Structure 1
């Protein structure tokens, strides 16, 4: 679905007029599964976040059979409750219009466990963050169209994967994002988990980025390539952020744990576990793909790090170079 597609049309034409199918997969808690396509010139939506799907083949008895085959082939996914949702008209590079049957289905697993055979990665996103992604406006409109029909309080109506089934009235939404840390001896509070990339080039230099002056955190300060974990593992977060922020392609198998900083930035704020991972191999050269967050990338000798530098970034680098695996900051 590219920028030239027509608005969403709820009218479903006859099956013989359609030859393509895509799956709008949601987790039942407000997130949608998106597929990051290969950055290959000439293919449909290169380097964009899109839906899983593909074209009908001679052996497919229906478009439902098409999308089930595509999900198995592309990601090893089997979703029992796929149902038709709408049809999109997509215009190809040659100007022809192709109807795409959109199916919806529920799945709440970890994308990192799937065997992805096409594209770069799969990841869960909520509609409110999708405007920051590289994706076709029609795909975003499609997600919003579906989300508008879901219950407003998703967290209170849908249990987390693997959680016991309890009465919905007893389920509570997650705590606020910036809830303060409890006083000593108080109740437990979930910590924010950050994933950070420690990358050394052949000359032993470390990759750091100069954050935008308007950044919510550490403006005009040098820092690791980093991001907050969403509904994903820390390694999956690292791989996703490396691609989205700097165009670096990292195989999860080439990632190893290097250090952790258990941090309280300022008294009373929510604690953070900042996990730092080293990538043994990667593909690509750092490019500034999110200029609203980062001004530039640079390689720095560990004995001549730039200023100003985020304090826990410096502490992590020192810890890694000295062979330590853990640092605490701000707890006293």
Structure 2
């Protein structure tokens, strides 16, 4: 039994002592565009992460931004398409421990129910090419957690983890 005057660590203090800090959780947003069993991927260029690899159109939340606003902003910046926030469906959440920097990342995967405009490579300085790939034939140079998330979405699973000890 704990004495009434004993200091009990707050949940945040307990997390910090365990080596994690919820205040620095990185949130990534990913757009899953599927057409005829093919998914749109971009080949990354001039990027610090996964340069030269295929990945879903994606980005990070900015401070003070709603997660859905973040996804619509990224879709317009990268693909030149407009998506209403209400037209985004969250199809998967991945809690990812990044082996490169040991940071905890929450990766959110959205599918639009509709969008306006024609898909185009609006950031050629960051994306070498856009291409539709069969879901059962992704290139070997696809970002591994992207492959994982797409497989989980195909199984109808809405939550998974990658990089954490079993």
Taking structure 1 as the reference length, what is the TM-score of the superposition? Answer: 0.43
2:51 is the alignment partner of 1:222: no
Which residues in structure 2 correspond to 1:3-18 (within 5 Å)? none
**Which segments of 5 or more consecutive residues in structure 1 lack a partner in the other structure?**
1-181
**Which residue does 1:192 correspond to in 2?**
26
1:238 aligns with 2:77: no
Gaps of 5+ in 2: 1-14
- Quote the offset at 1:285 in angstroms: 2.1
Matched, 1:207 2:40: yes
Deviations 1:121-177 (A, max 9, x none): xxxxxxxxxxxxxxxxxxxxxxxxxxxxxxxxxxxxxxxxxxxxxxxxxxxxxxxxx
Partner of 1:302: 135
Structure 2 residue 125 is matched with structure 1 residue 287: no
Distance 2:67 2:20 in 1: 25
Query: Number of aligned pairs?
Result: 149
Instruction: Show the counterpart of 1:269.
Output: 102
Shift of 1:268: 5.4
Counterpart position of 2:164: 331
- Kindly report the root-mean-square deviation, in angstroms, between the aligned alpha carbons of the 2 structures: 1.7
Provide the residue aligned with 1:322 in structure 2: 155
Task: State the distance in 2 between where 1:224 and 1:186 align.
Answer: 30
Cα distance in 1 for partners of 2:155, 2:17 equals: 31
Secondary structure class of the residue paired with 1:244: helix
Change (3 A) 1:211 1:187: closer
Per-residue CA distance 1:7-48 (angstroms, 9 max, x = gap): xxxxxxxxxxxxxxxxxxxxxxxxxxxxxxxxxxxxxxxxxx
In the alignment, the residues of structure 2 paired with residue 295 and residue 267 of structure 1 have an alpha-carbon distance, to the nearest angstrom, of 23
Alpha-carbon distance change, 183 to 285 in structure 1, aligned in 2, over 3 angstroms: same
Structure possessing the higher radius of gyration over alpha carbons = 1
Deviation at 1:184, TM superposition (A): 7.1
Change (3 A) 1:317 1:184: farther
Q: Trace 1:58-77 onto structure 2 (pairs within 5 A).
A: none
Note if contact 1:286-1:297 (Cα within 8 Å) is conserved in structure 2: no
Equivalent-residue separation in structure 2 for 1:317 and 1:310 (angstroms): 11
* CA distance in structure 2 between the aligned counterparts of 1:269 and 1:275, rounded to whole angstroms: 19
Residues 294 and 268 of structure 1, relative CA distance in 2, 3 Å threshold: closer
**Partners of 1:234 and 1:298 in 2: CA distance:** 26
Structure-1 separation of matches of 2:83 and 2:44? 22
Q: Under a length normalisation based on structure 2, what TM-score does the superposition of the two structures give? A: 0.83
- CA 1:300/1:268 → structure 2, altered by over 3 Å: closer, same or farther? closer
